[in-house]
Structure 1
Amino acid sequence: MRTLRSGLSVILVLFASLTASAEVIQPRQEPQLRLETEGHTALVRGISVTPDGKLLITGSADKTARLWSLPTGRLVRVIRPPIGGGVFGQVDAVAIAPDGKTIALAGDARCEFDAALCQFIDLYNSSDGTLRKRLGPFRAIVYELAFSPDGNRLAAAAGKQGLFIWENPLGEQPQLATAADAAYSAVFNSTGTQLATGAADGAVTLYGTNLSERVRRSQGRSGATFAKLAFSPDGGTLAVGYESMSKIDLYRVPDLFRTHEVDTSFSHRDLTNVAFSADGLFLYAGGNYDVAGYRHPVVRWTQAGRGAPQQVMEGPNGAITELAGLPRGGFAFASSDGSIGAYSATNEPVFYRDAGVPNMSLKISNLFVIAPDGKAVRFGLKFGDVDPVNFDAASLLLKTQATAPADYIQADTKSLDVGDWSNGIPTLNGKKLLASDREHSRTLAIAPDHKRFYLSTIWSLYGFSDTGAVLWNHDTDSPVHGLNLSADGTLLIAAVADGTLRWYRAATGELLLSLFVYVPDRRWIAWTPSGYYAASPGGESLIGWHVNGKSWTAPTDFFPAALFREKFYRPDIVRLVLQTLDEAKAVSTANEAAKRKDDDATLPAVVEIMADPRGLEATGPELSLKYRLRSPSGRPVTRLELRVDGQLVQPRAMQEIDETLTLDSDLTMTVPLPPRDASISLTAFIQDQPSATVSVPVHWTGETQSGPKPKLYALLVGVSNYDEPQLKLNYAAKDAMDMDAALKRQKGRFFDDVQTVLLLDDKADEDEIEIQLTRLRKAVGPNDYALVFMAGHGVTDAQGGFHFLPANASLAEDELAARSLDGIIIRNMLRTMQGKVLFFMDACNAGNGVGNDQSLADMTGFANEFALSNGVVMYASSTGRQFSYENAQWNNGAFTKSLIATLDDAKAFGADGRLSIFELAEELSTRVSDLTNGLQTPVMTKSAAIPVFYLASAP
């Protein structure tokens, strides 16, 4: 059985390890932790757009290729080639066939054991991401790929090895031809009758329909390197940009006579990447050219490059790495910081996907400071200390930190005679420290006792003694831009270019903890090398496990960390690891305290929807949907849930799948649809273990219909008076009553009818709450709303499970389970309801009393449970282990006060007079923070399968 195990590295135990040899080589089999932000997190090296302008493929050094739908910018699919350490698996070049059905990928090291012997170009189905064919192996590194306009040829610019072209690349026996001229870029003209390549010296070669027919080769420009090319739409002009200079030339086709030098006098840096507009009127370019030292705009020229330059957009932080013209005008771009986007012919943004990765550049001196114990770090989410935040690994709290606390310390870089450590060849007392002059140092930190110091180079981290002896050396996979040491010298903290902060044991260089903050919304996750993690609400989606297939052609899988929450969500381990300085010891200590066993985590099922990546269209009430099921663990898949717009569809949603049903086969189901645009989602289960949910949009082209207003069914629970006097609250029962009144005011506004059940104080025992949840599930139909509101105490048990405390609750460790409402029961009840489901949890902390000092309710863990519950939108009154406050001035709890105030405030509803789930979340965040002076932070979590919907109308 395929499982994930704990230890200093998480390993895959299904397969026996094989000894690498020239005859039998397999992809690396142990699961590998990867960042996942639904965008690229590293340099994007290739883009390609279909002729209809509806699909965009991007390939990145982050070891993924991503297929996007235009103009919406919806992420359609992530393609993950086999990966390993270092650069193995990075995507260097991509191309999409004109019909959008095939995606070609090439990487600079597709085989870990001998990159020179096993370069491949992989061809994938865009409809389901499966590998169709491998071209190769061959001895070359591919810099650019291009399909001919008819899709019958695939060209690969392979550097010094020249140009490779496959005729009928998807056929049984593709015909391969090569050209002797070196090629670092390649582009077809719009008719496919000519192909141009750029060389390392800036020379351009033009080929005819027959590859062996070289039409012309230009001399090249003196001092130019790595020419990038673009044909004008009529094929009469070839634009050439260079990597080494700001020049752009226009060549006449077919004689390659240089007819014009584009005006680039405004730039001292290159504008390598060039593209023409669809009508041929504009030339676009971008590269390392920057504005104010950090923004990299795209520039366009009128008269097809002969007119005046104009800056089109402010640009990303990273250099422009690729450009492609769009058929309806405008362009798509990619950058070195992972950002991608598209602009229209009128210079309006079509979509923009920011990388969202913290900029770790210039994390030095007072711009990168830490608490004396090394557990808290103040750093800028942007360049230097711009947009500063503070992360405290002891309290697991991320907050804005405008100024550093007075006791925070910066790295010592002066107490030893270490020279040229900043972007130079480092020395100690004048003697070189590193064997190779090519390995330049980036940053330095000296230990408080001056007996050790630490240096980073572009890919490595070193520990040295004060005599210059290497104590340890570890690869970092990404450059380190900042180092600092705790006051006692035990913890080494690194700011890494991939956007992570990393804590190391200074004595050995052992990695202890990593942190990633997603800049746009400040979700975060901190994890140990084995994958034990703590996260903010929604933050656990930011990492996951990449699992290579058993062979080079077998499918790879990616499993979000949330799928293994039961095993790996361990804030207790994360807190301990910086104390013990040993992950294994932190795990054993935490397990002993929690009385937990560290069981294996078994891989879940995989479900794939096979659909046109442009999306599906429907004209009637039903749609035939193709899908495929796999079970990497070998266990039978036991059921499949179907949801439309996040709502459970019956009876098919709970259909049992015969265990004898052959997996890895194309299957079909009939999906009932509403008369509007919708999203279809599938989740496969092995017993109660869910897969990652997959979704596809459906565009409704049939006749529109308007239905009646929905009905609201609500269960409201409020417990102020507990059997145990120390648990007494003042306003929880009143909160439920006030919420009941607020909901009834929506009758006739947003809802046709509002039916509520109130359970207050002694009426709210665990049995009655479960009974009413069951009745609610039976009452709610597909077009209705279900709302559950609970106000009272919450607690987390020693095993990390959340419990809502009814009136008869007991905090005695041996009685808690029997006299409380388990959060798992609440989740399972809600996730199987039809209609739109809203859950509000206003849980004050019960405090200590369950046998450990972590019994304060972990609302983050509980809220994240609902992110996988597909149909449930949850609003929690607080995050982490914060208290939820109540006050006589408010006559309510802060959360309920803010919730009711929002529902009764017409200004909160916006111009359309309706309140969306996101508008409510924003209002709650602002109002609760204002009431509590920032001490309480409400959160919303939901599955990505749930689209935006409305829940109230303005008074």
Structure 2
Amino acid sequence: KIWDLHTGRNLITLFVGSDDQWVAWTPSGYYTASLYGEQYIGWLINKGPDRVPDYYAASQFSEMLHRPNIVASTLYYGDESLALKDNPHRFDIHHMADVAPPEIRILMPEDGFETTQDSINLEISIDKASAEINDIAIYVNNRQMLSPQNRRLNNPFGGVRKSYTIRLEPGKNKVKAEVRNSRHATAASVISVIRKAALSQAIKGDLYIMSIGVNELKHIPYNNLKFPAKDAVDIVNVMKTMKGKLFKSVHATIFSDYSDQKPISTDIEDELYTLRNATKNDTVMLFLAGHGVRLNDREYIFLTRNAKMRPDNTYRMSTVLKWSKVIDAFRKINARRIVFLDTCYSGNVNATEMAKMGSDSEIVIFSSSTGYETSQELDKLQNGIFTHAICKGLTHG
């Protein structure tokens, strides 16, 4: 524990597990953690004498409580109350029961179930909703199985029994059912199902790749980069060679300084939502190369070609690509989703924090650097080092 020696108040509690995963949190429950560190903290909510308390893991409230900036500010000021003044979006853990996620269980099949069929009937129960349930999601090996229409619930306050028929992949299938309520609290149930079938029976889907590279910022005096635009093209060219091997077909969209479609924020956002045409057998890939920035309010932005700043030195949000917009669009895609970030970050962007924002939706994120590093590009490679490694790995193994 870290204490204020003058007042005797606890500022931060830090726990490091035997696996070197760690988590640090304030008295109000705001925390920061390594990639899997948040598994070590949670809260028991008492329900009175002779009744078993409810337990909620920190990860179920990550959108509200995973606030590394509050933890850092608490250490900086030596006072959590001062840190909270800089962060208006607050959450009171003493009212956790009022916004707690519902209870979700996979009733059938049981964990470890084996079958020779290519699909199973999934029986799910949803109970104890303290806030309106926004939607339900079902993932099989990180792929969203339900269309946006089928994710809605007839009874948004629980007491629901639902049945879904879902397709399985040959071999081991991780089946995850997840609900999210209107306060962004989540709950999930996970089982493993084995489909006994030859791996050759796996269905090849299409690849939808959206590749974005920004060398030059037209309205902001940042240092221009040499190779992001080329990186965006090179990644697509490599992925096109996977047609007939990993993918049935490859559909590519490039936004770069060198392409017909320039990397303009509004055009990119429009294109993001067209990726929902991908089906559950497909793969959707997003590649970003350029400058990234972390804002004070836990938002991350990618600086597109048209990025602008206001006189008060803040970014015009309509001229940049917000990471939350990317995650929101990807949550609506029924396919395997992969993001590659080859970005020279400023503002101490932390790749682990960005990954956490997508992890609850089973989005796979690869980043070239952490918040304490910068991506590198080399003249002799004519690429960013991260992009070069990806291309070399895919073409030469």
TM tier, shorter chain?
A: 0.7 to 0.9
Q: Is the 2:218–2:307 contact (alpha carbons within 8 Å) kept by the matching residues of 1?
A: yes
From 721, 738, 755, the equivalent of 2:216 is: 721
* 1: CA distance, partners of 2:169 / 2:389: 36
Work out whether 1:773 is the aligned partner of 2:272: yes
Matched with 1:623 is 120
SS at match of 1:626: strand
Tell me the CA shift for residue 893 of structure 1: 1.8
Letter in structure 2 aligned against 1:869: S
SS of equivalent to 1:755: strand
What percentage of residue pairs aligned between the two structures are identical?
26
What residue identity is the alignment partner of 1:902?
G
Aligned to 1:511: 10
**Alignment of structure 1 residues 464-475 onto 2, 5 Å:** none
Unaligned runs of 5+ in 1: 1-501, 848-854, 907-955
Q: Give the alignment of 1:179-328 within 5 angstroms.
A: none
Structure 1 counterpart of 2:309, from 781, 804, 811:
811
Q: Secondary structure at the match of 1:807?
A: coil
Rounded to whole Å, the distance in 2 between the matches of 1:886 and 1:703 is 43
For the structure 1 residues 900 and 810, does the alpha-carbon distance in structure 2 shift closer, same or farther, using more than 3 Å as the test? same
User: 2:360 aligns to what?
Assistant: 868
Indicate if the aligned counterparts of 2:378 and 2:384 stay in contact, CA closer than 8 A: yes
Which residue in the other structure is 1:799 paired with?
297
Amino acid at match of 1:625: L
Task: Go from structure 1 to structure 2 and tell me whether the alpha carbon gap of 1:706 and 1:612 turns closer, same or farther (over 3 Å shift).
Answer: closer
Does residue 1:754 correspond to 2:250, yes or no?
A: yes
The 1:670/1:814 distance shift into structure 2, 3 A limit, reads: same
Alignment of 1:523-922 (within 5 A): 523-550=21-48, 552-554=50-52, 556-559=54-57, 561-588=58-85, 590-591=86-87, 596-600=88-92, 602-611=99-108, 614-631=111-128, 634-651=130-147, 654-659=150-155, 663=159, 667-674=161-168, 676=170, 677-687=172-182, 689-701=184-196, 706-724=201-219, 726-727=221-222, 728-761=224-257, 763-778=262-277, 780-812=278-310, 813=313, 815-845=315-345, 847=346, 855-870=347-362, 872-906=363-397
1:372-420 deviations in Å (ceiling 9; x for gaps): xxxxxxxxxxxxxxxxxxxxxxxxxxxxxxxxxxxxxxxxxxxxxxxxx
The change in CA–CA distance for 1:816 and 1:550 in structure 2 (over 3 A counts) is: farther
What is the Cα deviation at residue 838 of structure 1? 0.9
The number of residues matched between the two structures is 385
**Inter-CA distance 658–749: structure 2 relative to 1 (3 Å threshold):** closer
Residue aligned with 2:318, SS: coil
1:495 aligned partner: none
**CA distance in 1 between partners of 2:279 and 2:34 (Å):** 33
Counterpart of 2:243 in structure 1: which amino acid?
A: K
Displacement of 1:808 after TM fit? 0.1
Choose between structure 1 and 2 for higher RCO, CA contacts under 8 A separated by at least 6 residues. 2
Taking the aligned partners of 1:653 and 1:557, their CA distance within structure 2 comes to 31
The separation in 2 between residues aligned to 1:817 and 1:725, in whole angstroms, is 14
**8 Å CA contact 2:308, 2:316 repeated in 1:** yes
Tell me the secondary structure at the aligned position of residue 136 of structure 2: strand
CA distance in structure 2 between the aligned counterparts of 1:689 and 1:579, rounded to whole angstroms: 28
Name the SS of the counterpart of 2:291 in structure 1.
strand
Amino acid at match of 2:301: H
Query: Counterpart amino acid of 1:746?
Result: M
Cα 1:881–1:566 shift into 2, 3 Å = farther
Q: 1:625 to 1:760 in 2, by over 3 A?
A: same
Could you report, residue by residue, the CA deviation over 1:819-840 in whole angstroms, capped at 9, with x for unpaired residues? Answer: 1111111001112212211111
The C-alpha deviation readout for 1:802-832, integer Å capped at 9, x for no partner, is: 1111100013355431111111110011122
Structure 1 residues 507 and 751 mapped into 2: Cα distance closer, same or farther (>3 Å)?
A: same
Aligned-partner SS, 2:221: helix
SS at 2:32 equivalent:
strand
Please give the residue correspondences for 1:25-44 in structure 2 after superposition, counting only pairs within 5 Å.
Answer: none
Return the alpha-carbon distance in structure 1 between the equivalents of residues 244 and 391 of structure 2.
18
Letter in 1 for 2:204: K
Quote the offset at 1:660 in angstroms.
6.9
Q: CA deviation at 1:730?
A: 1.3
Q: Residue 97 of structure 1 aligns with which residue?
A: none
CA distance in 2, matches of 1:856, 1:703: 47
Q: Whose Rg is larger?
A: 1
Distance 1:703 1:641, change over 3 A: same
- Asked if 2 retains the 8 angstrom alpha-carbon contact of 1:708 and 1:752, the reply is no
Q: Call closer, same or farther: CA 1:516–1:899 in 2, change over 3 Å.
A: farther
Tell me by how many angstroms 1:868 deviates: 1.1
Q: Distance in 2 between matches of 1:542 and 1:751?
A: 39
Counterpart residue type for residue 896 of structure 1: T
Q: 2:148, 2:219 → 1: CA distance? A: 45
- Equivalent-residue separation in structure 1 for 2:293 and 2:157 (angstroms): 43
Residues 1:567 and 1:737: Cα distance change in structure 2 (over 3 Å): same
Give the partner amino acid of 1:887: L
Structure 1 distance, partners of 2:53, 2:149, is 26
Q: Map of 1:45-84 to 2, 5 A cutoff?
A: none
**Paired residues of 1:795 and 1:858 also in contact (CA < 8 A):** no
- Shift of the 506–865 alpha-carbon distance from structure 1 to 2, 3 Å rule, reads same
SS across alignment from 1:716: strand
Partner SS state of residue 792, structure 1: strand
Structure 1 residues 843 and 597: alpha-carbon distance in aligned structure 2, compared to 1, 3 A threshold: same
In structure 1, what residue type is equivalent to 2:358?
F
Deviation per CA, 1:64-92, whole angstroms, max 9, x where unpaired?
Answer: xxxxxxxxxxxxxxxxxxxxxxxxxxxxx
Q: For residue 234 of structure 2, what is the amino acid of its counterpart?
A: D
Report the Cα offset of residue 712 of structure 1: 1.5
When residues 804 and 538 of structure 1 are mapped into structure 2, their CA distance, relative to the original with a 3 A threshold, is farther
Q: For residues 692 and 708 of structure 1, do their structure 2 counterparts lie closer, same or farther at Cα, with a shift above 3 Å needed?
A: closer
Question: 1:610 Cα deviation (Å)?
Answer: 2.7
Q: Which amino acid aligns with 2:241?
A: R
Q: Distance in 1 between matches of 2:71 and 2:151?
A: 39
Give distance in 1, aligned partners of 2:185 and 2:149.
13
- The one-letter amino acid paired with 1:883 is T
Distance verdict in 2 for CA 1:723–1:688, change over 3 Å: farther
1:613 Cα deviation after fit: 5.5
Q: Structure 1 or 2: larger helix share?
A: 2
Asked if structure 1 preserves the Cα contact closer than 8 Å seen for 2:118 and 2:169, the reply is yes
| Counterparts in 2 of 1:740 and 1:567: CA distance versus 1, 3 Å | same
Secondary structure at 1:689 match in 2: coil
Structure 1 746/625 Cα, relative in aligned 2: closer, same or farther at 3 Å? closer
Task: State how 1:121-200 maps to structure 2 within 5 Å.
Answer: none
**Contact 1:837 1:873 survives alignment (8 Å):** yes
Q: 1:123-146: CA deviations, max 9, x gaps? A: xxxxxxxxxxxxxxxxxxxxxxxx
CA RMSD of aligned residues (A): 2.8
8 Å CA contact 1:525, 1:542 repeated in 2: yes
Question: Does the 8 Å contact 1:537/1:879 carry over to 2?
Answer: no
CA apart distance, 1:605? 2.7
Deviation of 1:564 (Å): 2.8
The 1-side partners of 2:197 and 2:382 are apart by 51
Unaligned 5+ runs, structure 2: 94-98
CA drift of 1:790 comes to 0.8
* 8 A Cα contact 1:737 1:758, kept in partner: yes
The SS at the match of 2:356 is helix
Tell me the distance in 2 between the aligned counterparts of 1:902 and 1:705: 23
Distance 1:873 1:551, change over 3 A: farther
